[in-house]
């Protein structure tokens, strides 16, 4: 790709030079030879500006963790039950505004008459939290709490509105509900004095209410920097000549028709969208996702230089850091979400694992194999020395090969079903067989952005330490898979549908599901130190040279994991329980969730850095309890078990794994069986 970019620029210069010489030949294009010189100078200037823009873009992408602002003041509660006139909940209804031409209900009327809006100084710009019940079916489906707040801004305070003959305090809302709410609901008034916090509140409220923007809506501490990167990328690519030979991947034709032809996905999957030079706003998050995967792959591959052992280490990291849960909040996740929240489905593990392998120079794909229940079972395969080596993202381990080989190949399991039967459990056979594998589909993993012309152009311009591997030549990957050992001529090879499906799911999330997504991101926006810690955890940069410390007084050592640990442990992120008991219930819930996230992530980070005793202590912390932590229970239990195993407490590890009731239970039980075999082997060796 770098050659393609340079050839395009060279061709443009040749064409321009030809035109200039032609003008000189016919009399200087207006009788003056100076325009030719000016045009040449303009070309040199444009190339220089383009280079400067690209340098700025590279610098911005390198320094994303450093631009995260840590100074932010969360909103304060003006009115709630604690501050009402009688110490009870404030109850309100929302009505249409008389005389308004708009259909929204914008008049909030306090029917409990205990607010004291004037006394509290409620004013335009304050935030109304209107708590509405979520129906039981929805609550169970998306995992939200029984009560969810709708955020709306105050436009004007009214001190006397009559309902019948009774006057009531009221507020005119800037953005109301789509329809009236006549059932009195709990209401709180909050005030934001921090400009950045006000922007965050407005962005989150808009997303819950309208679903816009459907992608990249999260107002994290680096969101504005990512927006600026996209703006600069569009400035950079706009004047660049287009490669007339570029064509969309032929493998796109293998997507299900319902995806390829879905009008919702046209801005992302149509030929025009893929050929477009305009970077979309959400693609800033895709760039960040690739930066995270590149960073993780650089330090999570283990000590071995052997490619397959490195791949196994990456799968182990993925299994520990993405718990497989039944939480439908993960329904619309992509790798970015699964990495931040440390949970997902088997497909998220597979997606992240393949991305990590790609950044380590290993070609990986997903295999969708049919099962008796109709749902495809996912495997991952790494192409190495002409063979496809198999890894199970649910189990989190490579499939064992014949004769003690640590990793089975596709060719081996396709011809020897006994290799698959080794993972049968009592009463629960492994869901794959050699016979069914003949019907499996090899899937090329590529996000829609990775298939665009603009991704290829940018990829060709990012080299060295800035390289991001954004573009995927899906047709070339498919051809290499077809030539791999044991892949039959009739074996299906297709573009994996999961990335496109994830976009469609995000575009069609319901209001309650969007509210649940906002609840998940709130701790990271209200506590930007938590967000920065997570980003540094992923990057994992290390430059801590003792000799440089002695010889260079200006040397500034870098240790991202040490910095992440300090931020995870910060009192603002992990406040004392006494502090949590002193704030309003809604704020306490958000702060407690941040504390639980930080505690769990400290456990993961301690494991990553080899401090297993600290990891065990964090996973056993009392902070990891309560309703919010229940959503993290699958990951907590799994990591407790793996940490115990590493510390040599095999009995505890086996007990915890056998207690696993998560969707990843099969993997836990297979690991428990392996540990029992290890115990027996150690006992025999000791002569017991």
What is the per-residue pLDDT for 163? 86
What is the per-residue pLDDT for 531? 98
* Percent of the chain predicted with pLDDT > 90: 69
- Residues with Cβ within 8 Å of residue 46, at least 6 apart in sequence: 239
Mean pLDDT, residues 582-591 taken together: 87
* Token couple for 121: 């100084």
What is the per-residue pLDDT for 47? 54
- Residue 222 vs residue 100, higher pLDDT: 222
Q: How far apart are the first and last CA of the chain?
A: 62
- Residues with Cβ within 8 Å of residue 617, at least 6 apart in sequence: none
What is the pLDDT confidence band of residue 28, given thresholds at 50, 70 and 90? very low
- Residue 363: pLDDT over 50: yes
Q: What are the pLDDT digits (tens) for 383-411?
A: 999 999 999 999 999 999 999 999 999 99
Mean pLDDT, residues 418-429 taken together: 92
Contact 228, 251 (CB under 8 A): no
What is the pLDDT confidence band of residue 137, given thresholds at 50, 70 and 90? very low
- Residue 146: pLDDT over 50: no
- Residue 158: pLDDT over 80: yes
| Pair type for strands 181-191 and 166-177 | unpaired
- Segment among 137-151, 300-314, 338-352, 424-438 with least mean pLDDT: 137-151
pTM for this predicted structure? 0.85
* Percent of the chain predicted with pLDDT > 70: 88
- Residue 328: pLDDT over 90: no
Q: What are phi and psi of 72, to 5 degrees?
A: -150, 140
Q: What are the pLDDT digits (tens) for 507-566?
A: 999 988 999 999 999 999 999 999 999 999 999 998 866 667 667 776 677 899 999 999
- Residue 18: pLDDT over 70: no
Secondary structure (DSSP) of 5-59: HHHHHHHHHHHHHHHHHHHHHTTHHHH-SHHHHHHHHHHHHHHHHHHHHHHHHHH
What is the per-residue pLDDT for 586? 84
- Segment among 241-245, 608-612, 654-658 with least mean pLDDT: 241-245
- Residue 381 vs residue 554, higher pLDDT: 381
Tell me the C-alpha distance between 556 and 341, whole Å: 31
Q: What are phi and psi of 128, to 5 degrees?
A: -95, 130
- Residue 57: pLDDT over 50: yes
Tell me the C-alpha distance between 534 and 608, whole Å: 13
Tell me the C-alpha distance between 527 and 512, whole Å: 23
Tell me how long the chain is: 688
Mean pLDDT, the chain, rounded, equals 88
- Segment among 60-64, 97-101, 359-363 with least mean pLDDT: 97-101
Task: Quote the DSSP letter at residue 548.
Answer: H
What is the per-residue pLDDT for 265? 97
- Residues with Cβ within 8 Å of residue 30, at least 6 apart in sequence: none
- Residues with Cβ within 8 Å of residue 306, at least 6 apart in sequence: none
- Segment among 136-145, 153-162, 418-427, 469-478 with least mean pLDDT: 136-145
Tell me the C-alpha distance between 226 and 427, whole Å: 50
What is the per-residue pLDDT for 33? 56
What is the per-residue pLDDT for 73? 86
What is the per-residue pLDDT for 13? 38
What is the per-residue pLDDT for 103? 65
Tell me the C-alpha distance between 111 and 89, whole Å: 11
Q: What are the pLDDT digits (tens) for 180-226?
A: 889 999 999 999 888 888 899 889 989 998 999 999 999 999 999 99
Mean pLDDT, residues 339-367 taken together: 97
Contact 69, 142 (CB under 8 A): no
Query: Hey, which bits of 237-310 come out as E strands?
Result: none
Q: What are the pLDDT digits (tens) for 246-281?
A: 999 999 999 999 999 999 999 999 999 999 999 999
- Residues with Cβ within 8 Å of residue 305, at least 6 apart in sequence: none
Q: What are phi and psi of 68, to 5 degrees?
A: -70, 120
């Amino acid at each position: 790709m770098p050659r393609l970019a340079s050839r395009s620029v060279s061709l443009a210069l040749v064409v321009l030079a030809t035109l200039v010489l032609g003008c000189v030949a016919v009399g200087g294009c207006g009788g003056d030879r100076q325009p030719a010189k000016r045009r040449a100078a303009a070309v040199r200037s444009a190339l220089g500006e383009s280079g400067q823009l690209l340098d700025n873009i590279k610098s911005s992408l390198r320094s994303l963790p450093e631009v995260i602002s840590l100074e932010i003041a969360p909103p304060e509660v003006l009115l709630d039950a604690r501050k009402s006139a009688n110490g009870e909940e404030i109850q309100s209804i929302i009505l249409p505004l008389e005389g308004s031409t708009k259909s929204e209900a914008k008049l909030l009327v306090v029917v409990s008459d205990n607010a004291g809006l004037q006394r509290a100084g409620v004013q335009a710009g304050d935030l109304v939290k209107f708590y509405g019940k979520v129906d039981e079916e929805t609550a169970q489906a998306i995992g939200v709490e029984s009560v969810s707040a709708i955020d709306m801004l105050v436009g004007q305070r009214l001190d006397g509105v009559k309902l019948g003959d009774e006057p009531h305090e009221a507020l005119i809302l800037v953005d109301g509900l789509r329809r009236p709410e006549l059932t009195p609901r709990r209401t709180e008034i909050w005030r934001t004095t921090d400009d950045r916090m006000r922007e965050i509140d407005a962005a989150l409220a808009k997303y819950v209410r309208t679903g816009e923007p459907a992608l990249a809506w999260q107002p994290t501490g680096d969101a504005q920097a990512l927006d600026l990167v996209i703006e600069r990328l569009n400035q950079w690519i706009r004047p660049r000549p287009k490669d007339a030979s570029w064509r969309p991947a032929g493998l796109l034709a293998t997507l299900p028709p319902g995806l390829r032809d879905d009008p919702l996905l046209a801005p992302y999957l149509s030929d025009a969208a893929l050929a477009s030079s305009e970077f979309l706003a959400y693609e800033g998050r895709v760039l960040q996702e690739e930066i995270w995967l590149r960073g993780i792959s650089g330090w999570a591959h283990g000590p071995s230089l052997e490619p397959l052992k490195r791949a196994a280490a990456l799968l182990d990291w993925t299994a520990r850091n993405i718990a497989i849960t039944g939480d439908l909040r993960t329904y619309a996740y992509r790798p970015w979400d699964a990495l931040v929240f440390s949970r997902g489905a088997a497909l998220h593990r597979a997606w992240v694992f393949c991305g990590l392998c790609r950044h380590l120079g290993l070609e990986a794909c997903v295999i969708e194999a049919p099962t008796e229940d109709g749902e495809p079972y996912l495997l991952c395969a790494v192409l190495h020395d002409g063979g496809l080596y198999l890894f199970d993202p649910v189990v989190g381990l490579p499939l064992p090969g014949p004769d003690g080989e640590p990793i089975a190949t596709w060719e081996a399991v396709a011809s020897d079903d006994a290799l698959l039967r080794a993972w049968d459990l009592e009463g629960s056979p492994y869901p794959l067989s050699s016979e069914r594998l003949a019907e499996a589909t090899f899937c090329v993993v590529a996000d829609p952005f990775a298939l665009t012309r603009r991704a290829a152009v940018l990829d060709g311009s990012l080299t060295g330490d800035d390289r991001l591997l954004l573009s995927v030549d899906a047709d070339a990957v498919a051809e290499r898979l077809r030539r791999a050992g044991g892949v039959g001529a009739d074996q299906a090879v297709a573009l994996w549908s999961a990335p496109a499906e994830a976009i469609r799911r995000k575009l069609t999330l319901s209001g309650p599901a969007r509210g649940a997504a906002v609840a998940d991101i709130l701790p990271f926006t209200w506590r930007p130190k938590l967000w920065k810690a997570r980003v540094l955890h992923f990057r994992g940069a290390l430059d801590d040279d003792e000799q440089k410390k002695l010889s260079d007084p200006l040397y500034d050592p870098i240790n991202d994991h040490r910095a992440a640990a300090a931020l995870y442990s910060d009192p603002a992120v992990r406040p004392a329980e006494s502090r949590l008991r002193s704030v309003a219930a809604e704020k306490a819930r958000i702060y407690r969730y941040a504390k639980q996230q930080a505690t769990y992530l400290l456990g993961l980070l301690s494991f990553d850095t080899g401090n297993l005793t600290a990891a065990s202590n964090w996973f056993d912390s009392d902070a990891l309890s309560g309703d919010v932590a229940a959503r993290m229970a699958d990951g907590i239990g799994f990591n407790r078990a793996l940490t115990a195993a590493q510390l040599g407490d095999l009995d505890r590890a086996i007990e915890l794994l056998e207690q696993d009731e998560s969707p990843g239970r099969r993997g836990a039980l297979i690991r428990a069986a392996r540990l029992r075999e290890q115990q027996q082997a150690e006992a025999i060796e000791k002569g017991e």
